[in-house]
């Protein structure tokens, strides 16, 4: 017999490692062990979905680790202090900014403007195909692998949406037969409708990260020919994949010149201009 899930909240299931076969609690003193119980989802899917869910957590927070409007947060450094820059939202104007972490440093910049500069840098990224003949293919495979994980996440969400839909039909049937009172019917219906809306919102975010299925060679040409466009239209996961693969040591913002610049790129990549 399969595991019975007592709670219907999808975020609870996808954030609880128990459902991917992992056990961790206070009795184990912080240790993580592989359980013998049946898995509902694989650990790979659990990690992929959990990261996707985390990107939507606290979207209105002043300091949000995974805010979609602050994609450069993990790779952006202050040129003067060499410190990693954080990000925040000016609530009154609803404008995202990057800021140096160093106390007293006045390096502070509009996130949208830095995003435009970063797009210009991406437009100049090239691959040294002579010395790295397989790099373009290897680079595109990362996006194809991301698509596979994303598709698995979408399948999970579709399954939970179907379960919630079945519960709505059941409560409607019980109400029509006079088995439950109207007050209880309205309460349960509102709950399930909210769950459905949350699931569909997550599905839309997941769909935004999908890469069209094409052969690897064409996909590689498409990605390298439109890095800036893919970064702009992609979700946070896609943006960070591009950033990490090409700029593993980060990028720097110089307040004096009001420009982003790159010191080191991943082997095989270069810029056609500075």
Long-range contacts of 56-63 (CB under 8 A, 24+ apart): 56/201, 56/202, 56/205, 60/89, 61/89, 62/88, 62/89, 62/91, 63/87, 63/88
Domain boundary among 200, 222, 244: 222
Q: How far apart are CA 109 and CA 260, in angstroms?
A: 11
Work out the pLDDT band at 57, boundaries 50, 70, 90.
very low
Q: Are 211 and 219 in contact (CB under 8 A)?
A: yes
Q: What is the pLDDT of residues 172-182, one digit of tens each?
A: 888 888 888 98
**Half-sphere exposure of residue 123, counting CA atoms within 13 Å on the CB side?**
8
**Does residue 227 sit within a domain?**
no
pLDDT averaged over the chain?
A: 77
**153: which 2 tokens?**
């996440």
pLDDT for 112 beyond 70: yes
Q: What is the pLDDT of residues 130-164, one digit of tens each?
A: 999 888 888 877 776 666 666 666 777 788 888 88
pLDDT for 45 beyond 80: no
pLDDT score of 1: 37
Query: With a threshold of 0.75, does the pTM exceed it?
Result: no
pLDDT for 98 beyond 90: yes
**Does residue 37 sit within a domain?**
yes
**Does residue 194 sit within a domain?**
yes
Q: How far apart are CA 269 and CA 168, in angstroms?
A: 53
Q: What is the pLDDT of residues 18-44, one digit of tens each?
A: 555 655 544 434 444 455 555 555 555
pLDDT score of 147: 63
**Does residue 126 sit within a domain?**
no
Q: How far apart are CA 129 and CA 79, in angstroms?
A: 31
Q: How far apart are CA 108 and CA 116, in angstroms?
A: 16
Which has the minimum average pLDDT: 1-15, 186-200, 227-241?
1-15
Alpha helices (H) along the chain: 10-15, 43-54, 111-122, 135-176, 182-207, 216-225, 227-233, 236-246
Q: What is the pLDDT of residues 240-253, one digit of tens each?
A: 889 988 999 999 99
Q: How far apart are CA 3 and CA 10, in angstroms?
A: 15
User: Closest by alpha carbon to 88, among 118, 58, 120, 54?
Assistant: 58
pLDDT for 254 beyond 60: yes
Work out the pLDDT band at 12, boundaries 50, 70, 90.
very low
3-state DSSP call for residue 55?
coil
**Does residue 89 sit within a domain?**
no
pLDDT for 51 beyond 80: no
**Does residue 23 sit within a domain?**
yes
**Does residue 160 sit within a domain?**
yes
Q: How far apart are CA 98 and CA 109, in angstroms?
A: 5
**Does residue 1 sit within a domain?**
no
Domain region containing 36: 10-54
Average pLDDT for 73-90: 92
Number of structural domains, the chain?
Answer: 2
DSSP conformation class of 62: S
pLDDT score of 231: 92
């Amino acid at each position: 017999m399969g595991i019975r899930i007592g709670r219907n909240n999808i975020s609870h299931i996808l954030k609880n490692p128990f459902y991917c076969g992992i056990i961790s609690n206070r009795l184990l003193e912080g240790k993580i062990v592989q359980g013998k119980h049946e898995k509902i989802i694989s650990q790979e899917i659990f990690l992929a979905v959990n990261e996707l869910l985390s990107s939507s957590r606290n979207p209105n927070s002043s300091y949000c680790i995974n805010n979609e409007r602050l994609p450069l947060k993990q790779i952006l450094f202050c040129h003067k202090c060499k410190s990693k820059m954080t990000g925040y939202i000016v609530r009154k104007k609803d404008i995202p900014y990057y800021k140096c972490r160093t106390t007293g440093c006045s390096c502070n910049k509009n996130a949208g403007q830095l995003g435009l500069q970063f797009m210009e840098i991406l437009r100049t990224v090239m691959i040294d195909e002579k010395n790295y003949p397989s790099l373009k293919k290897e680079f595109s495979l990362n996006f194809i692998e991301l698509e596979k994980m994303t598709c698995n996440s979408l399948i999970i969400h579709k399954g939970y949406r179907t379960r919630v839909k079945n519960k709505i039909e059941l409560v409607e049937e019980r109400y029509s037969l006079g088995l439950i009172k109207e007050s209880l019917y309205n309460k349960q219906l509102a709950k399930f409708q909210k769950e459905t809306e949350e699931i569909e919102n997550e599905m839309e975010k997941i769909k935004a990260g999908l890469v069209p299925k094409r052969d690897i060679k064409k996909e590689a040409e498409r990605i390298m020919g439109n890095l800036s466009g893919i970064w702009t239209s992609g979700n946070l996961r896609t943006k960070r994949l591009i950033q990490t693969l090409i700029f593993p040591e980060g990028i720097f913002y110089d307040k004096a010149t009001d420009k982003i610049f790159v010191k080191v790129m991943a082997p095989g990549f270069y810029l056609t201009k500075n």
